[in-house]
Structure 1
Amino acid sequence: MAAYLGAADQSVDGVLEQESLTVLERMTVLFDDLIDDELDKRLKGRPSGCFSVNTALEAADDPALAVAHGQISKNLRDRLAVMASYLRVGQARGDIACAMAPASQAEVINGAVVGIRVASRVGSGRESMRAIADGALLVLTP
């Protein structure tokens, strides 16, 4: 689990650290990459969705999976804090809306990511996943 979460974190961090882009552009790239990845997995016959999302759902009620659940929960808290810090910078620079606190915006982004993963898992198309992403981006757009 730790290796999977670490690889996922590195992928996201690679986008977040692109200082040539505004924070809003980075969030857009994150969603674009996520949607493309989900559709690519489907095209190649690999399972869509997200291992950590699926594990979190299963582990919540299974004492045998308490360690995995703890790892996912900690990773989520850490990733939300990282995301909020980037959003805070974006708000200060004027490229992220200030109508919500950065921590709340990070929760919206996370909810959209989970929603896109679930939508992919049930066979939704690009348009459906794009609608989820665009809804989250509205919260960020000044």
Structure 2
Amino acid sequence: MTVTIRDARPQDEADWRRLWDAYLDFYETTLDPEITDATWRRAHDPASAIFMRVAELDGKMVGFATCITHEGTWVKDLDCYLEDLYVDAEARGHGLGRALLDDLVALCRKNGWARLYWHTSADNHRARKLYDQYVKTDDHIRYRMSF
């Protein structure tokens, strides 16, 4: 099996939308279609801080990572926030989540970004088993207000 991690391309849209819908289902949420459209557009806009990497297994797109780089007040270089990471349920167990994370670590080092960070649900045990191999969770609690 051949695993490839690469930048998302405009022709990936249908595959990404299939995976995005499954990702939203996993988190038992829905989004306005305009938000999904905007996310896709931003990931391909060179002026946007959002970028997307995709995972292929034997040439088929089966996962993605959506990230945002931003300035911070506690570091002098950019931070990289991994906002979304998803691997198709049928493709799990082949190291694709690890490959996406390893790719992001390499991008951070290559670009001189200060940190890579992300969140996941406390009950997402499968993902946390992988994430704990990279870094232990800290004692921060997230607060979020929507408007």
TM-score, normalised via structure 2 length:
0.28
TM-score, normalised via structure 1 length:
0.29
Higher percent of residues as helix: 1
Higher percent of residues as strand: 2
